[in-house]
Amino acid sequence: MPELQRLRLDHAPALLAFEQENRAYFAASIPDRGDDYFAEFDARHSDLLAEQDAGLHVFHVLVDSGGDILGRVNLIDVADGSAEIGYRIAEKAAGQGLATSAVRQVCVLAASEYGLATLRAVTTRDNAGSRAVLARTGFVPTGEMVLVGRPGIRYVRDLSRTGADPAARAAAPRGNG
Structure confidence by residue, pLDDT tens digits, 85-109 = 999 999 999 999 999 999 999 999 9
Structure confidence by residue, pLDDT tens digits, 52-65 = 999 999 999 999 99
The answer to whether residue 45 is domain-embedded is yes
The answer to whether residue 56 is domain-embedded is yes
Is the pTM higher than 0.85?
yes
What pLDDT shows up at residue 97?
95
pLDDT along the chain (177 residues), means of 10: 95 96 87 85 96 97 96 97 96 94 97 97 92 97 90 95 48 42
What pLDDT shows up at residue 148?
78
The answer to whether residue 176 is domain-embedded is no
The answer to whether residue 177 is domain-embedded is no
The answer to whether residue 165 is domain-embedded is yes
CB atoms within 10 A of CB 58: 23
CATH number of the domain at 160, please: 3.40.630.30
The answer to whether residue 105 is domain-embedded is yes
Residue 138 is part of which domain span?
Answer: 3-171
H or E stretch covering 31: none
The answer to whether residue 91 is domain-embedded is yes
CB atoms within 10 A of CB 52: 18
Q: How far is CA 155 from CA 6, 71, 114, 144, in A?
A: 24, 21, 20, 9
φ, ψ at 17 (rounded to 5°): -60, -45
User: How many domains are there within the chain?
Assistant: 1
The answer to whether residue 97 is domain-embedded is yes
Burial of 8 by CB count in 10 Å (0-12 exposed, 13-18 middle, 19+ buried)? middle
